Amino acid sequence: MNLSATVPVSWFLILSALLFTIGVVGVLVRRNALVIFMSIELMLNAANLAFVAFARDLQSLDGQVFVFFVMTVAAAEVAIGLAIIVNVFRLKETVYVDEINLLKG
Amino acid sequence: MTLLFLAFAALLIGCALMVILHRSPVTSALFLVLTFCSLAGIYLLLQAEFLAMVQVIVYAGAIMVLFLFVIMYLNLKRDVEDGMPHVLRRYVGWAIGALLLVEGALYFGKHWALGASLPEPAPEVGNTAAIGQLLYSRYLFPFEITSVLLIVAILGAVLIGRGRVAPVTPREGGQP
């Protein structure tokens, strides 16, 4: 391993892919709605990391501006989603997604 | 810098795994804070100082406080994760994750050979100033749309979070 001053950009992309995969597995494996939300945040952050890595690679700041927008959307999504989860908890006394089957009839 | 990257990456992956593996939602949320902080460190390595600060302030600050507030408000216990369907789903979930990872590895191996190094940093006016100029010139319209989105999110959160119970019993104040 060379301890040079630069890190290859593909390392950042591999890290982003790993983080995204962990987020996907979290969504698929867990059944607590809050942890599923956290896994979605992990996936959004993986996308952000890929944006920043490519922005650095292409010497362009547009990717970082996009990350700014993604963060805004993530904040809005978390606020709405947590409000929905609180409401569902009031109704069903649970946050487990496989016990929330109101639409099943 | 390579050592720094490896340290941050190991912290990032380890904490992200703890987020999805730990049974207690509070612990998951606290590990998520650590994940966001190490990601901010990686942003610093990529010379995105503004985004690193925003990451710490918005994600590790605001969003995680919201998460922790909701977790403590709902007073959740440790997750009960047993039973045959859940074990089956866990195996299927990890299998799909491994499949995704292998797919990504194949794609990476074909298109992105390891070794393309980052070019030397271009001296600029500073990351924050440059982003601000870009945000207020080329991306002005999306920026304004973002404010509309935030207004809608605020209204939606208030309306949904209020619930359907309209008559609130007046609570006698003056409790010390």
Tens of pLDDT, residue by residue, chain B (176 residues): 788 889 999 999 999 999 988 888 899 999 999 999 999 999 988 888 888 999 999 888 889 998 898 888 887 777 776 666 777 878 888 888 888 888 887 877 776 555 555 555 555 556 788 888 888 999 999 999 999 999 999 999 888 878 666 555 666 555 55
C-alpha gyration radius of chain A: 18
Which 10-69 residues of chain A touch chain B by CB within 8 A? 10-15, 17-26, 28-32, 34-35, 37-39, 41-42, 45, 48-49, 52-53, 55-57, 59, 61-62, 64-65, 67-69
What is the tens place of the pLDDT at every residue in A19-45?
Answer: 999 999 999 888 888 999 999 999 999
Task: Residue A60: list chain B partners with CB under 8 A.
Answer: none
Tell whether B51 is covered by a domain: yes
Do A76 and B150 contact (CB within 8 A), yes or no?
A: yes
- Boundary residue ending a domain (B17, B47, B77): B77
Tell whether B106 is covered by a domain: no
CATH number at residue B8: 1.20.120.1200
Task: Compute CA distances A83 → A64, B28, B69, B75, B160, whole Å.
Answer: 29, 19, 11, 15, 6
Which structural domain, as residue segments, surrounds residue B64?
A: 1-77
Q: Are residues B133 and B70 in the same domain?
A: no
Tell whether B146 is covered by a domain: yes
Q: Please report how the helices B127-137 and B140-162 are oriented relative to each other, as an axis angle in degrees rounded to 10.
A: 90
Tell whether B93 is covered by a domain: no
Number of structural domains chain B divides into = 2
Residue A104, pLDDT > 90, answer: no
Q: What is the largest CA-CA distance in chain A?
A: 61
- Three-state SS for B52-74 is HHHHHHHHHHHHHHHHHHHHHHH
**Higher pLDDT, residue A52 or B125:** A52
Do A55 and A64 contact (CB within 8 A), yes or no?
A: yes
State residue B146's pLDDT score.
93
User: Whole-model pTM?
Assistant: 0.84
What's the ipTM? 0.88
Tell whether B119 is covered by a domain: no
Do B127 and A19 contact (CB within 8 A), yes or no?
A: no
- Boundary residue ending a domain (B44, B77, B110): B77
Which 75-134 residues of chain B touch chain A by CB within 8 A? 76, 79, 81, 85-86, 89-90, 92-94, 96-97, 100-101, 104, 108, 112-119, 122, 127, 130-131, 134
> How close does chain A come to B30, measured CA to CA in Å?
11
d(CA A82, CA A103): 19
Tell whether B141 is covered by a domain: yes
d(CA A27, CA A40): 7
Q: Is B117 helix (H, G, I), strand (E, B) or coil?
A: strand
Tell whether B66 is covered by a domain: yes
Q: What is the dihedral of CA A66, A67, A71, A76, to 10 degrees?
A: 20
Tell whether B164 is covered by a domain: yes
Q: Show the tokens assigned to B111.
A: 């298109």
A32: nearest CA in chain B?
B79
State residue A2's pLDDT score.
44
